[in-house]
Structure formats: structure tokens, C-alpha cells
Amino acid sequence: MTQRPGNQLFDAYFTARDMREVFCDQGRVQAMLDFEAALARAEARVGLIPASAVVPIASACSAELYDFAALGEAIATAGNSAIPLVKALGKQIAATDAEAERYVHLGATSQDVMDSGLVLQLRQALGLIEGELAQLADSLAAQAQRHAATPLAGRTWLQHATPVTLGMKIAGWLGAVTRSRQRLRELKPRLLVLQFGGASGTLAALGEQALPIAQALAEELQLTLPEQPWHTQRDRIVEFGAALGLIAGSLGKLGRDISLLMQTEAAEVFEPSAPGKGGSSTMPHKRNPVGAAVLIGAATRVPGLVSTLFSAMPQEHERSLGLWHAEWETLPEICCLVSGSLQQARLLADGLEVDAARMARNLELTQGLVLAEAVSIVLAQRVGRDTAHHLLEQCCKRAVAEQRHLRAVLGDEPKVTAELSAAELDHLLNPAHYLGQAQVWVERAVAEHNALTV
């Protein structure tokens, strides 16, 4: 069986298929051809070129008509993808209408084609990412509400701390997703703009018709016409990359938490199970967090790619040498990695498996020590903070040394029982009674999500 060359083994794991289609060779070429077809329509609207040239040009603007391998070889000599593509486009048109070929690419430069084509791709990518984020947020909101009152051990420095709830933890993931959705909404008007400046950004080749053509071209592509061309002002591109970096990092946090909760010693929360998922080549018992691994992997890889975008910002004068080139594969790869992370995150959130009984048992691993603060806070109001803290510290040490439950040690301590009754101690050492505002945080996170969704 003959296979086309390329790195396809890991694509299904790390990248969502629909995102890869946006940034595959055909997707890139079609976006540039869409620019050329729109340019012809815009210039005909303004009267710069004859209307009869539009159909022959637009008919040739179909990626299926072009040899990507030949284009790739030509790019190695030309230095960018637009130059050989425009030449191939001209030949395609000339084969049927030599007159129309004269009007191809009129007044534009290679970077106009490539950057505006990229923006068209990013619009598709943004739509996919926003859709995945919205679905992920819906799932997280439902899970947060479902487990709003499910206690589990809080963990600081990877050690048991005071109790939290699973819903509160999930609400934290939800809040990060909501903020990312807000950022994308805010940056969209800055990102989805036309790039059209001609050779050096002045559009001098189009004379007095330059601005009307630019406006018509923006309308044809359903993009905004910015205040000026942005050939070497890359903040729009970098802002989007940075926002994707934040998404990758937030999803990495989600994946890290789930992988830790799945550890054998914890075994509190699990990825959804499926035949063949998370197994080992040698150990039949294994259930590995393979979805979380994608989230953590993307969170590890994306920051370096984002740093490349930042490094490429100080571009020279009106056209960059090398720095612009550094973006070409970088931003698409960021989009693909984030798409794969979102795809896995949504699967995790949809099918999260929770063992509340194990959470309750794990809360007892320290035999009441995680609730020492609860006792200390109440006792401090009666005997003073320093006295209460010192007394509880000594009782905790005794509980550890004697391998006894803190409740038993406190019940044997006259300085404690003089201030706190048995019923008070029982209440204070119940994890369900020391959850603070955990449920409120869930309600607030869900409300913010709902407000954004409306």
C-alpha cells in the first residue's frame, strides 16, 4: 500500500481533524485563492478591471486545480508560497482567457495574499476553537453543579490540606475556560482584518482607486478594513497566539489535576473508560490518563511556539526577512495543538468518572489532621490565637506519634474539652461542615458561564 509522505502517526492523538483540514496544504492554497478571486471582484466593482475578467479568474481559484508538490518545490526557490501560486494561477487563466490573465493579482503583493489568506484560515480556526470551548464549558458547568457538595481533600504542595469540593475544583477549570472565551471575543475584531498594502504598504499602484478597492475587497472577504496595512506590525497575530497559549495552559492545568486524581494512591476521579484506552503493552491492569497526557503535552509545547511569535515581532521596515517566515508554520501548529487539547478535554469533561466514597476515605487518611484548622479557629476565639495554635499543634503531633485519630486525642486533652463539647468536636471534625464558600464559588462560576453563553 502506497502512502503519501508526512507525519500522520500522531495527528489523530494531538490534533482535531477539522483543524488539520483548515491548515493542510489545500486549506492554505484555497485561502490564498479566495483572496485572489475576491480581489478581482473588488477591482471590477470599482471599475479598475473589466467585469468580464472576474469569472475566468474566479473559476481558476480552486485549490483542486493545482499541484501542491510542484508548488512546494517552487516555494524553495521563490521564498514564499504566493509567488509560484500566482504564476500557476495566471497560467490556469490564460489557458482559457488570455485577456483576463492580465488582471490577476493587480496592485497586490505576495504578503497581502498570504496574510489575508492566513486571516481567512484563522477565522475558521477561531470558529472551531470557540465552538469547542463553549461545549467544554457546558460540560464543566454541569459537572461542577453535580459535584458542588462532594467533599475531597484539598491539596497544597501535593499534601492534604483542608477539605474542598470536587465541584469547586471543576469550577476553577470552568472559570479559566470562560475567561479564554471572553479573550477570544475581545480580540476577534482586531484579528479578523484585511491585509492589503501592495509593494510597500502604500497601494501606490492603484492610484486614487486604492482605498475604494481596499474597502470593496474587505467586504468581499467579510473582513474589517484596518486603519492601515500591517505587513510588519504583527501584534494581531501574536495576540491570538498568546490567547491560544493561555488556553493550552489552562487545559494543561485541568489535565494535570485529573492525572493526579487518577493516581493509584488517590483513585478519586478518572477519565472515561473505553475499550483499549489507556492500557499498557505489558501490564494488563493499567488504566493510564491518555487524554490528560494530550492536555499536558500541548501545555508543554505551545509556550515555545508562542515565544517564537513574540521573537518574530521586531520585523524590519516594510517587509521582514526571516521573522515573517518564522510565523508560517508556527501559528498553524499552535492552532492544531490547542484543537487536539480541546477535543480531549471535552471527552474528559463529558465522561468524568467520580468515586465519592474513595474521596471520603482519603479524607480520613490523616485521621482528622486536615481539620485541625477548623478546631483551632474556634478554639482561638476562646483562648487566644497563639495558645490555640500551639495546643492544636501539640495534639496533632501526639496523634501522629500515637497513631490515633485527632478526635480521640482532642477528647483526652483537658484544655480542649474545657472549651469545646463532644458535640462541637464531632461537628468540627466532619469534613462536610468545613467547606466554606465552595458551593458559592461554583454558583458564581456557573453564573459567569451562563452570562457569556446568552
Q: Helices 235-262 & 330-350, crossing angle to 10 degrees?
A: 30
Nearest to 260 by CA among 104, 154, 380, 164: 154
Task: Report the alpha-carbon distance of residue 52 to residue 380 in Å, rounded.
Answer: 88
The residues pairing with 150 across neighbouring beta strands, listed in sequence order, are none
Q: Are 229 and 262 in contact (CB under 8 A)?
A: no
Looking up cell 497586490 gives 108
Nearest to 92 by CA among 63, 116, 119: 63
Grid cell digits, residue 105: 493579482
C-alpha separations of 441 from 263, 352, 382, 435, 436 in Å: 26, 20, 30, 11, 10
Residues 6 or more apart from 263 whose CB is under 8 A from it? none
Task: Report the alpha-carbon distance of residue 164 to residue 349 in Å, rounded.
Answer: 19
Catalytic residue positions, numbered: 280, 319
Q: Are 185 and 133 in contact (CB under 8 A)?
A: no
Instruction: Taking the CA atoms of 302, 304, 310 and 314 in sequence, report the sign of the dihedral they define.
Output: negative
In sequence order, what DSSP letters do the residues of 73-139 get, joined into one string? HHHHHHSSSHHHHHHHHHHHHHTT-HHHHTTTTTT--HHHHHHHHHHHHHHHHHHHHHHHHHHHHHH
